[in-house]
Amino acid sequence: MSIERGWVSYAGGQENSHLTADERRNFEQRIATRRSERGRLLARVEVEVFEHGAEAQVSFPEDAILGPESDAKVIAEAVSRARAELEHWR
């Protein structure tokens, strides 16, 4: 479900067998277009929110361009971009 700029979604893959063949094709095309526009993954920035606090982390999946050995300034820039995106999430 899209809410203005932010996305609310379930973790993991979703079953889409309830869609018609045309809806599934459109959905898959939108995903492919979005992936192409975004470019390659730099890093994963996650924040888990709990009743009494929050914890943030940066991880580097296999397909990420950056890694733990990357320049700290470059990693910090990726985190800054994530922070800016969260500030606009609604």
pLDDT in the model for residue 14? 65
How far apart CA 67 and CA 77 sit, in angstroms, is 13
Q: Which contacts qualify for 4-13: CB closer than 8 Å, 24 or more apart?
A: 4/90, 5/88, 5/89, 5/90, 6/88, 6/89, 6/90
The total number of structural domains in the chain stands at 1
* pLDDT over 70 percentage in the chain: 84
Domain of residue 36, residue span: 2-88
Q: What is the pTM of this model?
A: 0.65
Q: What is the pLDDT of residue 84?
A: 95
User: pLDDT value at position 13?
Assistant: 57
